[in-house]
Structure 1
Amino acid sequence: MYARSTTFQGRPANIDAGITFINTEAGPMLDQIEGCRGLSLLVDRETGQCIATSSWEDETAMRDSDERLRPLRDRGRDILGGPMQVDEWEIEVMHRTHHGECCRVSWVQGDLDAMTETFRVGIMPELERTPGFCSASLLLNRSSGLGCATTAWETRAAMEASRASTDEMRKRAASDAGGTIVDVHEFDLAYAHLHVPEMA
């Protein structure tokens, strides 16, 4: 399974228009493309940053869709009112009990195989015992050595309460991978229509 993420540095005032665009245009269009397994949208209403992530059955389906989806991404950029960055990933881990209302995304640079092992064996069991935990995924970009871990939470209060424990988990993953934590960001989950199977 593969994923393409588009990160928009938009304007906070344009967030609702962006969510409407995903609901009425982008989501329905992606549903019609062969090999697409869904779409999610994360939004930060304070900063205007948004991440739209589409999932794909294989790399060929993802690459074949690129030209067709480029005008859609450009329209999203115009609606949100800021620049965008597109990244492609392998989906290495996906575990979901249910969708939550918010997410924390962590980007870690390092040895991706070591990172994956720590995530699966050391971190996932701890996350499952954390109150309010809903799901976790790990995406890898092997050309850049970057891992992107996303955890979803039932409520923002649950996500905030988990900060200290998940900070320790993140530091351990970075240490085991011989790498560094690049960024951590918290978002509201504004759209979640992903159909990626369990990959734990």
Structure 2
Amino acid sequence: MMHARSYTIHARSSALDAGIEYIHDTVWPALSGLDGYVGLSLLVDRLTGRCIATTAWRTEEAMNASRRPTQEMRDRVAHILGGSPTVDEWEIAALHRENHSGPGACVRVTWARVEPELAERAIDGYRLATIPALTELDGFCSASLLVDRDSGFGVASAAFDSPEALRASRIASDAIKLATVRDTGAEVIDECEFDLVLAHLRVPEMA
């Protein structure tokens, strides 16, 4: 069972490029040397300054062991970007790649919650219904689901190969989301669209 840590920060717009450069040039190489590390992604909404950096780990133990050696880098990212970070830890419940994302890729992220006792049903629904429906959309690249089973919170992400494909998918994606909510009893909390700035993930298929 693989795990992920997401680091969310609302940055100053003027600091975004410096933060991206630091994560690419310093954080990413440093993470690559840690036991159990399997990937890094960085999502950026330049309009609002909202950034989400997510690291993936082979086991929960590896993720826990990474906290101390990565603390200084996390503090440095917060200093550069000029925001107060929120850190969340997740189980990677599903991941499917239809195509590898390249430059210009964008991601729609949806935060939702179900009653904890319904978490397994919601995960199965995402794997068996939501992902197959997403693969039918033009420009679709990949989808993932991160969950906290104890609280029932989850984060679903769908990547598309261009801003145009992301925009064109909105109506169909809303229909897929409504069907998921109906079938799983999920409550959608938030949704946001991002540029996929970094995507260096070696997480295997989990769908």
Q: TM-score, normalised by structure 1?
A: 0.97
What's the offset of the Cα at 1:9? 1.1
Give, as a single letter, the amino acid of the residue that structure 2 aligns with 1:145. Answer: G
For the pair 1:104 / 2:108, whether they are aligned, the reply is: yes
Contact preservation (8 Å) 2:122, 2:186: no
What's the offset of the Cα at 1:85? 0.3
Q: Deviations over 1:66-108 (max 9, x none)?
A: 1111111111111111111000000011111211511010011
In the other structure, the counterpart of 2:178 is 171
How many pairs were matched up?
A: 200
1:115 aligns with one of 101, 122, 125: 122
Residue 33 of structure 1 aligns to a residue whose secondary structure is coil
Q: Distance in 2 between matches of 1:175 and 1:12?
A: 37
Q: Distance in 2 between matches of 1:152 and 1:71?
A: 30
Residue 199 of structure 1 aligns to a residue whose secondary structure is coil
Contact preservation (8 Å) 1:171, 1:181: no
Q: Distance in 2 between matches of 1:112 and 1:182?
A: 16
Contact preservation (8 Å) 2:148, 2:154: yes
Contact preservation (8 Å) 1:35, 1:57: yes
For the pair 1:128 / 2:135, whether they are aligned, the reply is: yes
What's the offset of the Cα at 1:176? 2.2
In the other structure, the counterpart of 2:190 is 183
Q: Percent identity of the aligned residues?
A: 46
Q: Distance in 2 between matches of 1:72 and 1:177?
A: 38
What's the offset of the Cα at 1:131? 0.3
In the other structure, the counterpart of 2:42 is 41
Q: Deviations over 1:52-73 (max 9, x none)?
A: 0000000000001111111111
Q: Distance in 2 between matches of 1:106 and 1:116?
A: 14
Q: Distance in 1 between matches of 2:80 and 2:33?
A: 22
List alignment gaps of at least 5 residues for structure 1: none
Q: TM-score, normalised by structure 2?
A: 0.94
List alignment gaps of at least 5 residues for structure 2: none
Contact preservation (8 Å) 1:136, 1:152: yes
What's the offset of the Cα at 1:114? 1.9
Residue 66 of structure 2 aligns to a residue whose secondary structure is helix
Of stretches 162-171 and 128-137 in structure 1, the one that deviates more from structure 2 is 162-171
In the other structure, the counterpart of 1:10 is 11
Q: Distance in 1 between matches of 2:89 and 2:124?
A: 21
